[in-house]
Amino acid sequence: MTRLLGVIGDPVAHSLSPYIHNHWLRENGIDAVYAAIEVKADELAASLESLCAHEAIGLNVTLPHKESVLRLAATASDTARRLGAANTLVRTPEGQWHAENTDAPGFALTLDYGDINVEGREVFLLGAGGSARAVADVLARRGARLTLCNRTIARAESLALHLAPAARILSLEDGLAQLSRASVVINTLSLGHSGETLRLPESAGGIFYDISYGKGAAAALAEARRKGWRALDGLGMLVAQASLSFELWFGAAPDLAAAHARARSLLEAVQ
């Protein structure tokens, strides 16, 4: 019987995850299919129950469900609990969902591959959602001088309290006004999907990293390059966390470099 996997979120039609995972499934001779499944916020609990009943064996989770899905899972890893967010679900033999977080180790891998050293550097993190929690945790553990910028101050304060107690907290408006202080800016806000634009100051060699990719990140990355920033998208993070998810489901670790090259070629073809 062909088994089901997928990524749930809203929006999700743009996701490259099905292309990445279905290639790995074919490559490993696994009888399964991976699909993008749009799930609205008020449909999450029912959708998880339905997918479990249909014996889906694993799911990735994207906006806006990473925090909610953790509360709905029967069990969770220590990392997911500590971060307060999950991006991967594994169906247990008992027919329940177990929550994991591969965003944090996936982001850490991209810093290593991108030769990005954040220790002692001024890093501004835009956003305080599920993905931002994983990013903030890695940055704090690596010694970044972290500033958290978010529309809702209380949300950023909660993130800092649990994961980055030394971080400075600013409103998003104040943070954007002070970006000239940053040597690294990491955007976790879904600005490109909502049609908003991000105005950056001029930079002489700073790093701008948008964890989105494709059309969702295009405007911000173009703005960053115009202003002198080294601009990176989130495709590397997508592939890295996907590889870690695949290993959780099947015990096999795909080739990251080859997967990233395929994903980059596909992204360029569809843009």
Residue among 128, 127, 124 nearest 159 (CA): 128
Residues 229/203, Cβ–Cβ less than 8 Å: yes
Angle of helix 256-270 versus helix 235-250 axis, rounded to 10: 130
Give the end-to-end CA distance of the chain in Å, rounded to a whole number.
35
Q: Does 227 participate in catalysis according to the annotation?
A: no
Name the active-site residue from 40, 66, 215, 227: 66
For every residue of 9-67, DSSP letters joined together read: ESS-TT--HHHHHHHHHHHTT--EEEEEEE--GGGHHHHHHHHHHTT--EEEE-TT-TT
Q: Which amino acid is at 14?
A: H
Residues designated catalytic = 66
